Amino acid sequence: MKVTISDVARLAGVSTATVSHTINSTRYVSSDTKEKVYQAIAQLGYTPDASARSFRTGKKKTVGFIVPDISNKFFGTLIESAENYLSAKGYHLIIANTKENMDREETNLRLLTAGLVDGLLIASTMDDFQRLDNLIPAGFPVVLIDRTFDTPKYPSVSVSCFQPIYRSVCCLAGQGKRRIGIIGGLPRLSTTKERVAAYRAAVADCGLPQDEALIRYGDSMEDSAPPCLNQLLEQGCDAILVCQGLMASVTIAYLRGQGIRLGQDLELVSFVDYDTHAYEFYYSQVDRIIQPVEKLGRTAGEQILLRVEQPDAPVQERVLTSVYRPRGEESV
Amino acid sequence: MKVTISDVARLAGVSTATVSHTINSTRYVSSDTKEKVYQAIAQLGYTPDASARSFRTGKKKTVGFIVPDISNKFFGTLIESAENYLSAKGYHLIIANTKENMDREETNLRLLTAGLVDGLLIASTMDDFQRLDNLIPAGFPVVLIDRTFDTPKYPSVSVSCFQPIYRSVCCLAGQGKRRIGIIGGLPRLSTTKERVAAYRAAVADCGLPQDEALIRYGDSMEDSAPPCLNQLLEQGCDAILVCQGLMASVTIAYLRGQGIRLGQDLELVSFVDYDTHAYEFYYSQVDRIIQPVEKLGRTAGEQILLRVEQPDAPVQERVLTSVYRPRGEESV
DNA sequence: GTGAAAGCGCTAACAC
DNA sequence: GTGTTAGCGCTTTCAC
């Protein structure tokens, strides 16, 4: 049978209150009594029941994370980094995967906001802020991560890539490239919109021809890069930006497989989802845009706990910056 | 204030029992009454409190997954696949990351078995079965995944790679390769042991020279492949097996970066962690060993729920098979 | 410095 | 076909 706090109290010859206070250091207990309590706990092999505790206190010590694609390394690293922070603070992480499907996101939101978690990290795949907003109970602690909306109703942590993309396009133009293509993620996402906007701005400012055929959208899953790529090659592109890490790494492998020489036949600007030196050589012939994934995850962890503790603190919108690293340049 | 089941009962003019039974379809309720209940629920915006419910029933509808490295695509895909199955069955997934650290695994085991989850999926990084076993309360539903131990005390789901590795080494020997190197994961893991054993068996059976210097161990993180690789190249290897997906993909990129021509200067046998066609070209010059990652995750999900429902069903040890696919051969 | 006891919101006997 | 009510294991107020 399950050992409860009363069993411990009985064996130790004290009240349940004292046992509870001893365990939680929540009021003074004489060292004699403490001793007896710990003795009893050890003897019975008692472990406080987490679900009774969270029922009673209303705190679950658990945060939910709604992710578009766990198998994608970008989100894998994000989760790792958030989990790392949260577990250090005594919190657990519940993962829900949407596979970029809005209905799955809706289902998960309903389930997770029903008393399962203290707060929610959301990398939303919704196209419509209203739909998301309607699913979140008033006052429920939420932090939007990576993907945001125009309305600053919820705190958010995201990465801006405007600057590096703008610069990379200008550099390519400066090298004489005229037909610069871009592959973005799902068009409805804020990240995609910002990236394409940066591209358009640079194309306009550099006086390059504006051609909608040079803008392609994938879905950030592995199989979606090659078709986009082929379309851009047919358009006679002399440079291509791939604005998402997974599609970018597939692109590099694909082009190499085709015998297309990067940095010679074609210039490539590639998003990179991690900050490691292990792949240095893999990217030696391409320009990179590097997002601070780990920092994103950690900041999200900080923000959600802050939110859980003070649900009505002022809404913060944190924007981290990504860096442009032309090929050949030293990595930091 | 929070809306409770009593509020609903009061407004609907019925008892809390009826509300509960209506919600859970757990006994007959006339359609009239049902109607009134649903009306009241809608009007008040009532959502049953998950933690009260799990406290009461003892069922958390949550499974924990102890993973060595979330950011590794193998485990990312594994998690995705398990989550997919579990969420369809109404279960949530709590992730704990150990980064191949035994102490972190210990901490997580303690936390997760204390009434937080109904069952546990463990891809253990422990070297010692006893240590793991001591941390699991008697009767607690557990399924070992990917990595197993000699004692068949717990059910497990794993992948055998003996056969494909043995065959790949024999093929290489048949092509006249004499110095075949191998890079494994952490030496303490069952997966690593099996892989190295298969290699040793094949080396012996094919009459190749046995040389311990040809056996290197990494830690399955990205930065650990290149040093192993360099050591093997110094040993004059004419073929190399990389027995883990992440290290293998780093290896390929690294060798290409060095100007070493795969399939010409050096033969490579590479573990692949996913079953996708997107990377077909990436692997066109290497032989592959492909593990059924998705099936592994799904089977683990099935097994743990089975276990949660019948904690003392006979212990099953499921072994899935991986396939050897020499380069040039059609992918399935 | 410690104890008694009231619930947290729900489910499930048991009763009618 | 529905209602009454005990109690899951814990925390915490109030009392001494």
**Residue pLDDT, tens place only, A174-205:** 999 999 999 999 999 999 999 999 999 999 99
pLDDT of residue B255: 86
Separation of alpha carbons A321 and A136, rounded Å: 28
Per DSSP bridges, beta strands A287-290 and A323-325 are antiparallel
Residues from chain B contacting residue A222 (CB–CB below 8 Å): 276, 278-279
- Does residue B309 surpass a pLDDT of 80? yes
Buried b vs exposed e over B149-168: b needs ≥16 C-beta within 10 Å?
beeeebbbbbbbbbebbbbb
In this model, does residue A273 exceed pLDDT 70?
Answer: yes
Q: Residues B149-172: what's their mean pLDDT?
A: 96
Question: What is the Rg, in whole angstroms, of the alpha carbon atoms belonging to chain B?
Answer: 25
B47-100 pLDDT, tens digit each: 999 999 999 999 999 999 999 999 999 999 999 999 999 999 999 999 999 999
What are the structure tokens assigned to A132, written together? 């998301």
**pTM of full prediction above 0.85:** yes
Q: What is the mean pLDDT of chain A?
A: 93
| pLDDT higher than 70, residue A275 | no
Question: What confidence score (pLDDT) does residue B275 get?
Answer: 64
Digit-coded pLDDT (tens) for B177-219: 999 999 999 999 999 999 999 999 999 999 999 999 999 999 9
3-class secondary structure, A148? coil
Alpha-carbon dihedral of residues B240, B245, B247, B252, nearest 10 degrees? 60
Q: Separation of CA B4 and C1' C15 in angstroms?
A: 25
Mean per-residue pLDDT, A123-149: 95
Q: What is the model's pLDDT at position A78? A: 97
pLDDT in tens, A58-97: 999 999 999 999 999 999 999 999 999 999 999 999 999 9
Residue A294 has pLDDT above 60, yes or no: yes
Give A277's pLDDT tier (boundaries 50, 70, 90).
Answer: low
In this predicted structure, the answer to whether residue A329 has a pLDDT above a threshold of 80 is no
Exposure of A22 in the CB half-sphere (CA atoms within 13 A)? 24
> In angstroms, how far is C7 C1' from B52 CA?
13
Q: In this structure, how many other beta carbons lie within 10 angstroms of the beta carbon of residue A146? A: 26
Distance CA B286, CA B270 (A): 7
Res. A290 pLDDT band, cuts 50 70 90: very high
Cβ burial of A206 (10 Å; 0-12, 13-18, 19+) is middle
What SS3 string covers B218-257? CCCCHHHHHHHHHHHHHCCCCEEEECCHHHHHHHHHHHHH
Nucleotide whose C1' lies closest to the alpha carbon of residue B55: D8
B62–A94 CB contact, under 8 Å: yes
- For nucleotide D9, the protein residue with its alpha carbon nearest to C1' is A52
Residue carrying structure tokens 């068996």: B201
The mean per-residue pLDDT over the stretch B127-153 comes to 95
pLDDT, residue A255, reads: 86
* Residue B330: per-residue pLDDT: 60
Average pLDDT over residues A151-169: 96
Q: What are the structure tokens assigned to B224, written together?
A: 């650990």
Query: Does the structure show a pLDDT above 90 at A313?
Result: no
Mean pLDDT for the stretch of residues B120-130 = 97
A contacts of B278 (beta carbons < 8 Å): 222-223, 225-226, 250
A 240-259 near B (Cβ less than 8 A): 250, 253-254, 256-258
Please list, in sequence order, all residues whose beta carbon lies within 8 angstroms of the beta carbon of residue B324, skipping any fewer than 6 positions away.
B163, B164, B165, B167, B168, B287, B288, B289
The answer to whether the beta carbons of residues A296 and A78 sit under 8 Å apart is yes
Share of chain B above pLDDT 70, in %: 98
Per the CB < 8 Å rule, is A79 touching B70?
A: yes
